[in-house]
Amino acid sequence: MRLYLHIGIFLLVSLIAVSYSFSQKKKSDKKHCIQLVTVVMTLFSGLRSWRMGDVYHYCHAFIQCNSESWRLDFESRDSIGTQIIYRLFGQMGMGFEICLFVIAAFSAISLGYFVFRYSSSPYLSYLLYIGLGYYIFTMSALKQTIAMAFIMWAMSAIIESRKDKFLLFVILAALFHLPASIFLVAYFAAHKKTDKYYFIGLLVLTVSIMLLRDQIVSVASNLYYEDEVKYNAAGYVGGKFIAMLAMLIISSVIHPLWDSNRIYRYLFNIMVIATMLQAFSVYDNVFTRLADYYFQFSVVFVPLVLDSKLQSDYGGRLECDGQRLPRKMRVVAYLLISIAITMFYIQTLESNVSLLSEFRFFWEVKGPSSLELMGR
């Protein structure tokens, strides 16, 4: 029964976003659409009970951080950032329920801001975000959820060519989830010129990575597993990697890199890194979660590939000046992507059925609140 709630949210968000597609597509229409979706996503995720999956352990850490004997622990599995915000919320008399709501709002607002500024299709952006499992992910992995939200602001800084803002947001992300520091290379990679040396460099980098794969897997695994439960290796190159690779090939055919908008080139380079990281999931599934720091931007990249000529931009915002693909081809592409993402989402629901079956709104669960457990 609880799965139907998530399916309902998926359909509701899609319906709201589709309504924008049939509107006059004014800037105000896009803004109102994204605001409404942001509110829906925040309420659904932010009002959930903490008695769900790993969130229970986060609540336990929240209580510990507000005990009289608490001291900031740099060696704790709980990141420095989470310890600090847990303490702040507790000292302000706010329970873990409020903390959950704020995290959900921050994640949804960060996504909404990025979609508003850079996506040519809110419908496709939100379809990808929910369909690829990122929304479900925000309901259990709080530390990485906060970090990925900060990384979205870091990506905006890349597009604006603001190194100072980029470093600030990556550092903030790493305070909540240390593996987010893998995004540090994004600024330089995104701004890499796409000339003949670019492709030569990619070839050299790919060969080097394969030769040093054992060392890379060891370093990345040790970095991630300091405070995470260990995952098993996939043992094979999965469908997600194949989809990423196909996306890069198709997009480069539709929009040659040397004849494209700079925002598109930045995002293309980010997708290249995501694909490389995802390839390593054959050795360790942790690389899937590392790749997500980059691949989350597919929610904007895919619409850009399909919708616009990408020949001009103004003030960091995309200006669509016509259609590259014929209308019929675009309609078919949208339909096929919608079907594929929906099927993938159903598989995601089935693989997370035990977690999602625990979903409850906080008022549905009997028992003491987090503040009562803290003795307040």
Residue 100 has pLDDT above 90, yes or no: yes
Does 98 map to a domain?
A: yes
For residue 162, count other CB atoms closer than 10 A to its CB: 16
pLDDT for 235: 42
- Written as six digits, the tokens of 160 are 């604006």
pLDDT for 315: 42
Give the closest residue to 157 by CA, choosing from 173, 137, 175, 177.
173
Residue 229 has pLDDT above 50, yes or no: no
Choice between 115 and 56, residue whose per-residue pLDDT is larger: 115
DSSP letters spanning 116-129: HHH-S-HHHHHHHH
Residue 299 has pLDDT above 90, yes or no: yes
Choice between 310 and 276, residue whose per-residue pLDDT is larger: 276
Does 12 map to a domain?
A: yes
pLDDT for 207: 67
pLDDT for 116: 92
DSSP letters spanning 9-30: HHHHHHHHHHHHHTS---HHHH
Q: How many domains does the chain have?
A: 1
Does 64 map to a domain?
A: yes
pLDDT for 73: 73
Q: What's the average model confidence in pLDDT over 357-373?
A: 71
Among the residue ranges 174-183, 223-232, 251-260, the one predicted with the least confidence is 223-232
pLDDT for 367: 60
Residue 39 is part of which domain span?
Answer: 1-140+352-376
Alpha carbon dihedral 145, 148, 153, 159, in 10-degree steps, equals -160
Give the closest residue to 293 by CA, choosing from 130, 107, 143, 148.
148
pLDDT for 10: 72
**pTM (predicted TM-score):** 0.85
Does 161 map to a domain?
A: no
Residue 323 has pLDDT above 80, yes or no: no
For residue 236, count other CB atoms closer than 10 A to its CB: 9
Does 179 map to a domain?
A: no
For residue 207, count other CB atoms closer than 10 A to its CB: 10
Beta-strand pair 317-319/312-314: antiparallel
Residue 247 has pLDDT above 90, yes or no: no
Q: How far apart are the first and last CA of the chain?
A: 35
95 CB-near residues (< 8 Å, 6+ apart): 89, 369, 370, 371, 374
Q: What's the average model confidence in pLDDT over 202-220?
A: 66
Q: What's the average model confidence in pLDDT over 244-269?
A: 80
Give the closest residue to 290 by CA, choosing from 214, 364, 179.
179
Strand-pair partners of 319 = 312
- Which of the listed ranges 21-35, 129-143, 208-222, 313-327 does the model predict with the highest average pLDDT? 129-143
> pLDDT confidence of 373, banded at 50, 70, 90?
low
Choice between 102 and 76, residue whose per-residue pLDDT is larger: 102
Does 131 map to a domain?
A: yes
Choice between 317 and 10, residue whose per-residue pLDDT is larger: 10
> pLDDT confidence of 114, banded at 50, 70, 90?
very high
Choice between 230 and 121, residue whose per-residue pLDDT is larger: 121
Tokens 């040396």 label which residue?
197
Give the closest residue to 342 by CA, choosing from 13, 92, 5, 7.
7
pLDDT for 314: 40
Does 187 map to a domain?
A: no
Q: What's the average model confidence in pLDDT over 127-148?
A: 91
For residue 267, count other CB atoms closer than 10 A to its CB: 26
Q: Rounded to whole angstroms, how far apart are CA atoms 160 and 101?
A: 30
167 CB-near residues (< 8 Å, 6+ apart): none
Mean pLDDT of the chain: 79
Choice between 361 and 152, residue whose per-residue pLDDT is larger: 152
pLDDT for 232: 46
Angle at which helices 142-159 and 262-279 pack, to 10 degrees?
A: 140
Does 44 map to a domain?
A: yes
